[in-house]
Amino acid sequence: MTYEVVFSREAEADLERLFDHVLERELNSPTGDLDLPARAIHAIRVACEFLSLSPFSCRKVGHGALVRELVISFGRSGLVALFEIRSGERVVIGAVRHQRESDYH
Protein backbone atom coordinates (compact mmCIF):
# COMPACT_ATOMS: atom_id res chain seq x y z
CA MET A 1 0.00 0.00 0.00
CA THR A 2 1.23 3.48 -0.78
CA TYR A 3 0.10 6.74 0.78
CA GLU A 4 -0.31 10.11 -0.88
CA VAL A 5 1.95 12.61 0.92
CA VAL A 6 0.86 16.26 0.91
CA PHE A 7 2.16 19.36 2.65
CA SER A 8 -0.38 21.56 4.43
CA ARG A 9 -0.32 25.31 3.81
CA GLU A 10 1.35 25.70 7.20
CA ALA A 11 4.07 23.19 6.30
CA GLU A 12 4.68 24.93 2.95
CA ALA A 13 5.04 28.21 4.87
CA ASP A 14 7.52 26.46 7.17
CA LEU A 15 9.58 25.43 4.13
CA GLU A 16 9.66 29.02 2.90
CA ARG A 17 10.65 30.26 6.36
CA LEU A 18 13.41 27.66 6.66
CA PHE A 19 14.70 28.52 3.17
CA ASP A 20 14.80 32.23 4.03
CA HIS A 21 16.51 31.57 7.37
CA VAL A 22 19.24 29.41 5.83
CA LEU A 23 19.72 31.85 2.95
CA GLU A 24 20.11 34.80 5.33
CA ARG A 25 22.55 32.84 7.48
CA GLU A 26 24.63 31.88 4.44
CA LEU A 27 24.60 35.42 3.04
CA ASN A 28 25.98 36.69 6.35
CA SER A 29 28.68 34.03 6.54
CA PRO A 30 32.16 34.73 5.15
CA THR A 31 32.16 31.22 3.66
CA GLY A 32 28.45 31.13 2.77
CA ASP A 33 27.09 28.39 0.55
CA LEU A 34 24.20 29.83 -1.46
CA ASP A 35 23.19 26.36 -2.68
CA LEU A 36 22.55 25.19 0.89
CA PRO A 37 18.96 26.53 1.24
CA ALA A 38 17.79 24.67 -1.88
CA ARG A 39 19.60 21.50 -0.76
CA ALA A 40 17.89 21.70 2.63
CA ILE A 41 14.41 21.96 1.09
CA HIS A 42 15.24 19.15 -1.32
CA ALA A 43 16.39 16.96 1.59
CA ILE A 44 13.10 17.60 3.40
CA ARG A 45 10.98 16.72 0.37
CA VAL A 46 12.98 13.57 -0.38
CA ALA A 47 12.80 12.43 3.25
CA CYS A 48 9.04 12.97 3.29
CA GLU A 49 8.67 10.73 0.22
CA PHE A 50 9.58 7.87 2.58
CA LEU A 51 6.21 8.41 4.26
CA SER A 52 4.43 7.21 1.13
CA LEU A 53 5.72 3.71 1.90
CA SER A 54 6.03 3.44 5.66
CA PRO A 55 4.52 6.23 7.76
CA PHE A 56 3.87 3.95 10.73
CA SER A 57 7.61 3.39 11.20
CA CYS A 58 8.03 6.95 12.52
CA ARG A 59 7.72 7.78 16.20
CA LYS A 60 4.36 8.65 17.70
CA VAL A 61 3.56 12.08 19.06
CA GLY A 62 1.06 12.37 21.88
CA HIS A 63 -1.51 9.74 22.74
CA GLY A 64 -2.86 8.87 19.30
CA ALA A 65 -1.31 6.43 16.87
CA LEU A 66 -1.87 8.57 13.77
CA VAL A 67 0.12 11.71 14.62
CA ARG A 68 3.84 11.10 14.21
CA GLU A 69 7.10 12.81 13.44
CA LEU A 70 9.87 12.13 10.98
CA VAL A 71 13.43 13.06 11.90
CA ILE A 72 15.32 14.36 8.87
CA SER A 73 19.10 14.41 8.94
CA PHE A 74 20.70 17.50 7.46
CA GLY A 75 23.88 19.21 8.52
CA ARG A 76 25.02 18.95 12.11
CA SER A 77 21.54 18.57 13.57
CA GLY A 78 18.53 18.18 11.31
CA LEU A 79 14.85 18.82 11.00
CA VAL A 80 11.59 17.30 12.18
CA ALA A 81 8.37 16.93 10.17
CA LEU A 82 5.12 16.54 12.11
CA PHE A 83 2.52 14.59 10.17
CA GLU A 84 -0.83 12.85 10.47
CA ILE A 85 -1.89 9.63 8.76
CA ARG A 86 -5.40 10.17 7.44
CA SER A 87 -7.94 7.71 6.04
CA GLY A 88 -5.38 4.99 5.41
CA GLU A 89 -4.43 6.58 2.08
CA ARG A 90 -3.05 10.02 2.84
CA VAL A 91 -0.29 11.52 4.95
CA VAL A 92 -0.50 15.24 5.68
CA ILE A 93 2.65 17.07 6.72
CA GLY A 94 1.49 19.67 9.25
CA ALA A 95 4.74 21.35 10.24
CA VAL A 96 8.47 21.28 9.59
CA ARG A 97 10.95 22.63 12.10
CA HIS A 98 14.65 22.67 12.75
CA GLN A 99 15.44 20.34 15.65
CA ARG A 100 16.71 23.26 17.70
CA GLU A 101 13.51 25.30 17.35
CA SER A 102 10.97 25.53 20.12
CA ASP A 103 7.98 23.20 20.30
CA TYR A 104 5.71 22.95 17.25
CA HIS A 105 2.93 20.70 18.57
Is this prediction's pTM over 0.95?
Answer: no
Interval 36-82: pLDDT, tens: 989 999 999 999 999 999 999 999 998 888 999 999 998 777 899 99
Closest CA to 61 of 8, 27, 97: 97
Question: According to DSSP H, which parts of 1-105 are helical?
Answer: 9-27, 36-49
Q: Looking at domain 4-98, which of 2.60.40.10, 3.40.50.970, 3.30.2310.20, 3.40.50.2000 is its CATH number? A: 3.30.2310.20
Q: Where are the domains of the chain?
A: 4-98
Phi, psi for 103 (deg, rounded to 5): -50, 145
Interval 18-38: pLDDT, tens: 999 889 988 998 988 899 989
